[in-house]
Structure 1
Amino acid sequence: MGQPAEKQRRATYADLEAVPPHKVAELVRGTLHVFPRPAPRHANAEGALLGELFGPFHRGRGGPGGWWILPEPELHFPDPEVPGEEEALVPDLAGWRRERMPELPETAYFALAPDWICEVPSPSTAAFDRNEKMPVYAREGVRHAWLVDPIARTLEIHVLGADRRWGPPVVHRDAARVRVAPFDAIELDLSVLWAK
């Protein structure tokens, strides 16, 4: 008879804190996921989208305001498998309506789920973003999720249903000019997201 398989130790927040600062680390269901920082096209898409949304929604310049739009916030959610433990996710961008979060927290993380997240998947993160993070965002009640792919040049929109499941995605491509919830108060020219 063979030896029984060793039970793998669940990662903790201390493991996440030990990851070198030049890496991105996230903790989902007791598993530590470590990725390299975004490649230039991905960083460009993230920065360009932040630039398009920050003025009108965060500052209220040329738009309605009423949002906190932040790059790479650390989100803490209760781990559903182990009481007292937490999951830690870092979306590329996230937004909170100020009516739900009037002030930024004093902590280095956010315990309140955002109203909107955006992920810019890369070949090394795409499966994790879709298969691990998107279900957590749905479970925690994030209403809107955008996936921006600078290689395929697509903006994929997901809206959470009342059953806490993502509805069918809507995909916009290339240089489309779109109005997309929750930021449909402005027209977004997708061509600004793709490196030229």
Structure 2
Amino acid sequence: MHAAPPVAPPRTPRRPTIEDWLAIPEEKRAELIDGRIVYQGMPGPVHGRTQAGVIALVRGAYDRRPGGAERPGGWWISMEVDMEIGGLGCRPDVLGWRRDKHPTMPEPDRRGIVTAAPDWICEVLSPTTAHVDMGDKRLGYHRAGVAHYWLADPHNGTLTVLRWTPEGYLIALVVGRGDKVHAAPFDAVEIDAGGLFGDDMEEPPPSNEPTAP
């Protein structure tokens, strides 16, 4: 009677690496999240308009050298930068670094990715990937020490502002369309939350006073 041949133990699937992620064509919009490749859908008009709204309301006042009350400056603001932070290979929708910590804007390394953790990240939520932004990405950004994390939800018209604490992110503020707020870290200037979602800003009423010749 012959003994049965030994059964080989099942192979553990190899976890993708940063190099595997970088080898994926950029147009496939992949990220490396918690050891797995996650593909983002192509952004639609609502996503793009929200991303542009965040840039418009933040960059004008802050993406410059430190200045006055209406244009406080002090930040480098960018968008969709390939990064390796907190164990993630990611491409945040909008992000920023404080100039007092980074005299020059962080540059990609020889691989083409930035490793300097931002001081602020804003992700625009979409129905297919919101669970990643609110879950594994949130954990990774916390590990990386990202001090401020915004979640802009254009479908529900809300902005959630998270603040880093040793135990995890703390919800500091939740606002919606129609709210005018001071949201950290950009709390020096009041913002209209509707503007984040590309809502048309109200025009000032026309003046009845005669114009000077």
Tell me the TM-score range normalised by the shorter chain: 0.7 to 0.9
Structure 1 residue identity aligned to 2:71: G
Question: Residue 119 of structure 1 corresponds to which residue in structure 2?
Answer: 123
Does residue 159 (structure 1) correspond to residue 167 (structure 2)? The answer is no
Alpha-carbon distance in 1 for matches of 2:191, 2:80: 21
Alpha-carbon distance in 2 for matches of 1:105, 1:96: 8
Give me the TM-score of the superposition, normalised by structure 2. Answer: 0.80
Q: Quick one: which of 165, 169, 189 aligns to 2:192?
A: 189
Q: CA RMSD in A?
A: 2.1
Does residue 109 (structure 1) correspond to residue 113 (structure 2)? The answer is yes
Shift of residue 13, structure 1, vs aligned partner: 2.6
Structure 2 residue identity aligned to 1:155: L
Per-residue Cα deviation, 1:144-185 (whole angstroms, up to 9, x for no partner): 110000010000011111x15111352101121111110011
Alpha-carbon distance in 2 for matches of 1:47, 1:88: 23
Structure 2: state its 5+ residue gaps: 1-6, 200-213
Q: Quick one: which of 35, 38, 43 aligns to 2:43?
A: 38
Does residue 71 (structure 1) correspond to residue 74 (structure 2)? The answer is no
Per-residue Cα deviation, 1:27-53 (whole angstroms, up to 9, x for no partner): 123211111222210110011110111
Give me the TM-score of the superposition, normalised by structure 1. Answer: 0.87
Question: Residue 89 of structure 1 corresponds to which residue in structure 2?
Answer: 90
Aligned length: 188
The answer as to whether partners of 1:141 and 1:164 remain within 8 angstroms in 2 is: no
Alpha-carbon distance in 1 for matches of 2:96, 2:198: 24
Alpha-carbon distance in 1 for matches of 2:195, 2:180: 10
The share of aligned pairs that are identical, in percent, is: 36
The answer as to whether partners of 1:147 and 1:157 remain within 8 angstroms in 2 is: yes
The answer as to whether partners of 2:117 and 2:146 remain within 8 angstroms in 1 is: yes
Larger Rg belongs to = 2
Structure 1: state its 5+ residue gaps: 80-86
